[in-house]
Amino acid sequence: MKTIYWFCNHLWHKCFIAFFSYRVIGKEKLVTDGPVVIASNHESFLDPPLVGVAYGKSVYYLARKTLFKGFGAWLYPRLNSIPVDQERPDMTSLKTIIKLLKQGNQVVIFPEGARTLDGELQEGQPGTGLIVAKTKAVVQPVRIFGARQALPRGSSKMNFCPITLVGGDPITFSPEELKAKGKEGYQKISDRIMAEIAKLEL
């Protein structure tokens, strides 16, 4: 684990516990070995570290390309962040994610693609299904509760309220399901992932 990553991970963990009574339910279900797509709902800017600290080990994240400027260009790579251009999607970040998974790493992905505005789960994007089909990675569904109340989309005001992360049973797709091709096939994989996330409750 990189020194900066280790420091930030421990700092985030302590702050989440101190200010948000952060807790993890189903921690024993979290798969920490081998290639894993950690699939989470997306409520807030707080989501990536909220998922990461639950693992207590080095995982990879996706981050907006615009954050990789100035100090961010130095910091974010050290936090295992992969730049993603949301305005002009290309294959570069996708290839990086697939490579990391094939090397046996764990990558945090938000299938919805964007933070929710109303707190409701959104439809998953086919890109997540493509990644799973290409890597045959185990999918670890997790769901965050309370992050939207703490820091909702469009707000810069932090509210100190309880946040809980719930881990679900890992999803292993069958060889037949992994043969999916095209947008429709990849969408079916993403739909199943979102259905499993939706089942998770406090």
Residues serving a catalytic function are 42
- DSSP string for residues in 3-43: HHHHHHHHHHHHHHHHHH--EEESGGG---SSSEEEEE---
Ramachandran angles phi, psi of 39, nearest 5°: -100, 120
Q: What is the largest CA-CA distance in the chain?
A: 47
Sole residue written with tokens 């569904």: 141
Alpha-carbon span 73 to 185, nearest angstrom: 36
Q: DSSP state, 88?
A: S
Sole residue written with tokens 């709902």: 41
Residue 78 identity: R
